[in-house]
Amino acid sequence: MTDTASPHRLRHDTDRRSVVLVYILYLIGLATGGLASVAGVIIAHTKSHHVGGIYRSHLDFQIRTFWLGLVIGLIGVLLTVVLVGFLILAGLFVWMLVRSIKGLMAANDGQPIDNPQTLLW
C-alpha cells in the first residue's frame, strides 16, 4: 500500500505542529519566568520565513506577543519598586495566557488569527 498523503498536506501538518509547539512553550513560559518563551520565539522567528497561509498569521501573532510581553514585563519589573509593577505583571500574565489559549484553539481548528497585529486578543 502506498502513502496517499500529498506533500502539501504534510507541510500543512508540520506548520501546524510548529505553531502549536510555540503556543505550548509560551504557556510553559508563564510557569518558568519566560524561559520557555524564549525557545518559542526562536522557533517562531526561524519558521516565519518558511510558513505561509493561515499559519503565517499565527507566527506573526506569536512573535508580536513575545516582544510586547518582554517590554511590558521589563516595565513591570522596574515598577515593582513602587508596587505598581506587581499589577502590571499580573495583567501581563493574564494577557499572555489569553493570547496563547486563543491562538492554540485557532491553530487546532485550522483557523488563522484574524488580526495578528492587535494589542489585545
The number of folded domains in the chain is 1
Q: What is the pLDDT of residues 16-38, one digit of tens each?
A: 999 999 999 999 999 999 999 99
Is there a contact between 61 and 22 (Cβ–Cβ < 8 Å)?
A: no
Q: Which amino acid is at 76?
A: G
Write out the three cell numbers for 8: 502539501
CA-only gyration radius of the chain, Å? 16
Residue whose C-alpha is closest to residue 12's, from 59, 51, 43: 51
Task: Classify residue 87: in a domain, yes or no.
Answer: yes
Task: Classify residue 34: in a domain, yes or no.
Answer: yes
Q: What is the pLDDT of residues 49-105, one digit of tens each?
A: 888 889 999 999 999 999 999 999 999 999 999 999 999 999 999 999 999 999 999
Range of the domain at 67: 7-108
CA 82 – CA 84 distance, rounded (Å): 6
Task: Classify residue 79: in a domain, yes or no.
Answer: yes
**pTM, rounded to two decimals:** 0.87
